[in-house]
Structure 1
Amino acid sequence: MVRRYLLEHNAPDIDDYLRLRADTGLTPKTAKQAEPIFENSWMWVRAIEKDSGQTVGMGRVISDSGWCCLIADMATDPAHQRRGIGRAVLEELLSEILTSAPDNPYIVLLADAPGRPLYQSMGFVETAPHSIGMQYVPDKTPTQ
């Protein structure tokens, strides 16, 4: 990662969180949806541009503090992409999981298309056909 950025083990503020999600094409969230995640995430890493102090990247881990860890909200401001920020955030998250969690943690994430090359380059593999990610969609529930 270029020296103009700094990684910190803390969450962005809510405005930066919502901005990064929206600017990177992640599903937009409301402040009410976002508020609980700051207390209920196991760990955060954010990237800050040193000169401006602006949050330009983030990622977090949701964990049961046992064997299961979900990496979520990986996002890098489009104006700062292709500079190693996402890789640095992910490396920091993985390092912390591997040193803090019990042996052999199960580390998963949902990979949107733009992030797949990064995740694959860092050792993530598709889980199918053994298992696949599924999402509950109430409107798709069959009627009886």
Structure 2
Amino acid sequence: MNIEYSFKKRPTVDQVIELYDNAGLPRPTNDKERMQQMFENSNLIVTAWDNELLVGVSRSITDWVWACYLSDLAVRNDYKKEGIGRKLIRLTKEKVSDQSMVLLLSVPTAMEYYPRIGFKKQESSFIIDREK
């Protein structure tokens, strides 16, 4: 499998929506404008491509020197267990350097995945949930 990883190649909002739905990532994929804004307002995006097929995305918001919030990690179902998610996270961490932490909120189905790839579970987070 020859997967191309890119910081520059941007998917269309339709490609992102299709990937997220395929991967089972619970995001507002029925709201195309909101999904577009989510990507436009992110400042670190890594994509994974199998030729022209979008197979993975890591979408983050970062200040580059202290914190990087990994908002989305999605890998197409047929490509899971190929190391794509792990590589997207590694590339994200390399880009923000050792000065910055990478943190995320996990979907329930991925709670076992993140500790296996080097994340430490934290008990010190708080959230004000979105209303929509």
TM-score by length of 1: 0.78
- Does structure 1 conserve the Cα–Cα contact (< 8 Å) formed by 2:20 and 2:74? yes
Q: Deviations over 1:33-64 (max 9, x none)?
A: 112223321111111003xx100111111123
- What letter matches 2:107 in structure 1? D
Show structure 1 runs of 4+ deviating over 6 A: none
Mapped pair 1:136 → 2:129: yes
Gaps of 5+ in 2: none
Q: Residue 142 of structure 1 corresponds to which residue in structure 2?
A: none
Aligned positions, number: 129
Q: Residue 103 of structure 2 corresponds to which residue in structure 1?
A: 108
Q: Could you say what secondary structure the match of 1:27 adopts? A: coil
Identity of aligned residues (%): 23
Gaps of 5+ in 1: 140-144
* Equivalent runs, 1:19-98 vs 2, <5 Å: 19-29=18-28, 30-50=31-51, 53-98=52-97
- Shift of the alpha carbon at 1:134? 2.2
TM-score by length of 2: 0.84
Match of 1:8 among 6, 9, 13: 6
The RMSD of aligned alpha carbons is 2.1
